């Protein structure tokens, strides 16, 4: 059998701990036997980030801008304990944060469904993808604990002469204050990323906020989304037969619970933080959740939504035995990137291989073969719990 060729490369970003171990097995057993992998490799292992003064992270992000498609292994975001463990020169920033800032992108998280793991919400049949705006709002707010009576004001001093001053509250007792902001440029990028992703996955897009109460802040989000939709995307949506609509967040939640799934739900920063945890838990497991960063100008970076699974890694190192860590989200990060590469290059063989890889991974689970994390969640079959290597070999045998 001749291997599938790739005209253009994927940016391959390696990472840390257990996911790094899985990364290699997935490549060796599921990819290189079938595809002449064309990748531009960046090693973001914490030791390499430390050695290069984190330059490697910036280079990897730039490479995604150049080649438009990347796939990333989970990486350690150092904290104080990690800095000691790895004797770091500096507490390097989160690689995902760096890549997100270079690509100016939005993160989309979608669950991977199988017929033996039933969502908690029984009418959900298709995945619900959450798009979270990851800029501003309460995450960059200025706050104050007020301890005496006094007047709080909102004050704006314009560079071009516009001034604004209004009383927020005349405190007669202690209390709390918060002010937050967002920027049109960031909201526009968020909107364009959402519209691009909806087109790319052929799914409806919902956007929710609370514009009836927040008549400047949330209404700005609503208006910018509507304006961009009408000027740049309406025709393309009509052509594909998909829809965009805005609704109040309360209404959105009621509709989500009654829906069958199969759409993208765009959320403001805080809503997305909270709702994505609800959605992932209700669908089953973090180990069955994919994540893709989409930039408004059409760059895509695929990864698993989970971290480096540190606990399993230390067990693996101590016992020298393979663990039962779920590689499915890592497999789907690769299949997502390969499919996108194939779509961009008109490489049907590659697209079909990616689809098949996903199909047989799910079939493997549905046949009862699965890692430990899923065995407690599955219904209707008796699971056979295997380790990561055995699971990947079972998938390979079905390819």
Write out the residues near Mg ion by the rule CB under 5 A: 273, 277
How far is the C-alpha of 261 from the C-alpha of 12, rounded, in Å? Answer: 31
Q: How far is CA 109 from CA 182, 287, 292, 362, 375, in A?
A: 22, 12, 7, 18, 23
List binders of ligand NAP among 369-388 (CB under 6 A).
373
Identified binder of ligand NAP from the candidate list 57, 182, 276, 308, rule CB under 6 A: 308
By the 10 Å C-beta count (0-12 exposed, 13-18 middle, 19+ buried), 135 is classed as buried
List binders of ligand NAP among 60-79 (CB under 6 A).
74-77
Q: State the minimum distance, in angstroms, from the CB of residue 287 to ligand NAP.
A: 4
**By CB under 6 A, how many residues form the interface with ligand NAP?**
17
Rank residues 109 and 192 by Cβ distance to Mg ion and give the closer one: 109
The entry of ligand NAP, Mg ion, none near residue 347 (CB within 5 to 8 angstroms by kind) is: none
The entry of ligand NAP, Mg ion, none near residue 273 (CB within 5 to 8 angstroms by kind) is: Mg ion
389 binds ligand NAP (CB under 6 A): no
How far is the C-alpha of 206 from the C-alpha of 185, rounded, in Å? Answer: 20
Q: State the minimum distance, in angstroms, from the CB of residue 203 to ligand NAP.
A: 23
Comparing CA positions, the residue from 97, 17, 27, 10 lying closest to residue 336 is: 10
Instruction: Give the three-state DSSP class for 333.
Output: helix
Q: Answer positive or negative: Cα dihedral of 251, 245, 224, 108.
A: positive
Q: State the minimum distance, in angstroms, from the CB of residue 139 to ligand NAP.
A: 17
The entry of ligand NAP, Mg ion, none near residue 287 (CB within 5 to 8 angstroms by kind) is: ligand NAP
Q: State the minimum distance, in angstroms, from the CB of residue 142 to Mg ion.
A: 22
Strands 163-171 and 106-111: unpaired
Q: How many CB atoms lie within 10 A of CB 313?
A: 18
How far is the C-alpha of 230 from the C-alpha of 166, rounded, in Å? Answer: 34
How far is the C-alpha of 112 from the C-alpha of 128, rounded, in Å? Answer: 10
How far is the C-alpha of 365 from the C-alpha of 380, rounded, in Å? Answer: 12
133 binds ligand NAP (CB under 6 A): no
Rank residues 271 and 303 by Cβ distance to ligand NAP and give the closer one: 303
The entry of Mg ion, ligand NAP, none near residue 310 (CB within 5 to 8 angstroms by kind) is: ligand NAP
306 binds ligand NAP (CB under 6 A): yes
How far is the C-alpha of 43 from the C-alpha of 106, rounded, in Å? Answer: 23
Q: State the minimum distance, in angstroms, from the CB of residue 101 to ligand NAP.
A: 15
98 binds ligand NAP (CB under 6 A): no
Radius of gyration of the chain (CA): 23
Identified binder of ligand NAP from the candidate list 311, 317, 384, 398, rule CB under 6 A: 311
Rank residues 208 and 324 by Cβ distance to ligand NAP and give the closer one: 324
96 binds ligand NAP (CB under 6 A): yes
List binders of ligand NAP among 221-250 (CB under 6 A).
none
| Residue whose structure tokens are 């047989």 | 360
Q: State the minimum distance, in angstroms, from the CB of residue 46 to ligand NAP.
A: 9
Tokens of 10: 């994927």
Phi then psi for 347, rounded to 5 degrees?
Answer: -100, 90
List binders of ligand NAP among 331-370 (CB under 6 A).
none
Return residues touching ligand NAP (CB under 6 A): 74-77, 96, 286-287, 303, 306-311, 325-326, 373
């Amino acid at each position: 059998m001749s291997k599938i060729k790739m005209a253009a490369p994927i940016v391959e970003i390696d990472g840390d701990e257990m996911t790094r171990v899985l990364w290699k097995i997935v490549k060796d057993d599921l990819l290189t036997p079938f595809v002449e992998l064309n990748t531009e490799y960046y090693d973001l292992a914490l030791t390499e980030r430390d050695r290069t003064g984190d330059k490697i992270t910036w280079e990897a992000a730039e490479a995604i801008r150049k080649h438009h498609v990347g796939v990333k292994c989970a990486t350690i975001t150092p904290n104080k304990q990690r800095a000691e463990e790895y004797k770091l020169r500096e507490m390097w920033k989160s690689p995902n944060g760096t890549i997100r800032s270079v690509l100016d992108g939005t993160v989309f998280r979608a669950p991977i469904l199988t017929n033996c793991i039933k969502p908690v919400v029984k009418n959900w049949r298709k995945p619900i993808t959450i798009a979270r705006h990851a800029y501003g709002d309460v995450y960059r707010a200025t706050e104050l604990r007020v301890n005496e009576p006094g007047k709080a004001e909102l004050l704006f001093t314009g560079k071009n002469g516009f001034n604004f001053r209004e009383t927020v509250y005349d405190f007669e007792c202690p209390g709390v204050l918060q002010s937050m902001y967002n920027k049109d440029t960031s909201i526009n990028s968020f909107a364009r990323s959402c519209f691009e992703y909806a087109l790319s996955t052929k799914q409806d897009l919902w956007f929710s906020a609370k514009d009836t109460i927040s008549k400047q802040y949330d209404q700005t989000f609503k208006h910018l989304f509507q304006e961009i939709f009408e000027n740049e995307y309406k025709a393309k949506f009509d052509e594909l037969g998909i829809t965009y609509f805005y609704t109040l967040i309360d209404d959105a939640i009621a509709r989500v619970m009654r829906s069958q799934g199969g759409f993208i739900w765009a959320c403001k920063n805080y809503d997305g933080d909270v709702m994505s945890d609800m959605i992932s838990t209700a669908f089953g497991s973090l180990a069955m959740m994919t994540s893709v960063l989409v930039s408004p100008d059409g760059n895509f970076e695929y990864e698993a939504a989970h971290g480096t699974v540190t606990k399993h890694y230390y067990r693996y190192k101590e016992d020298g035995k393979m663990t039962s860590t779920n590689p499915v989200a890592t497999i789907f990060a690769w299949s997502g990137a390969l499919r996108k590469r194939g779509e961009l290059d008109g490489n049907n063989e590659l697209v079909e291989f990616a689809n098949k890889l996903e199909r047989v991974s799910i079939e493997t689970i549905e046949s009862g073969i699965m890692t430990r994390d899923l065995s407690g969640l599955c219904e209707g079959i008796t699971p056979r719990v295997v380790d990561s290597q055995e699971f990947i070999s079972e998938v390979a045998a079905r390819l």
